Amino acid sequence: HNVVEQVTALDTTPLVPLALVQRALRVPSMEVLSYTEARTRFERDYLVGLLKITDGNVADAARLADRNRTEFYRLMQKHGLTPGLFRADGPVAE
């Protein structure tokens, strides 16, 4: 479906050239995000990666990110993350 949309958007002639179809098939489809959404996803993925590496140790994760612990906690809260989710013993029961 995306290939058809790409090809028709790129070509204005009644007959679509084979090379254009082949190129569209080779190019992986990419989800286009707003800048804000892309930044939000990157930020969350970055935090998750650091917390996984450090087994949920916020001080170590903040140090790796070159941020202070308070700022790192704020970012975690913004993205709904808690250190317990990344500890080796799993999420802590409340």
- Print the SS3 string covering 45-76: HHHHHHHHHCCCCHHHHHHHCCCCHHHHHHHH
What is the number of helices (H) and of strands (E) in the chain? Answer: 5, 0
Cβ 21 vs Cβ 30: under 8 Å: no
- Could you report the per-residue pLDDT of 38-64, keeping only the tens digit for each? 999 999 999 999 999 999 999 999 999
Asked whether the predicted pLDDT for residue 14 surpasses 90, the reply is no
Domain definitions of the chain by residue range = 1-30, 35-86
- Tell whether pTM > 0.75: no
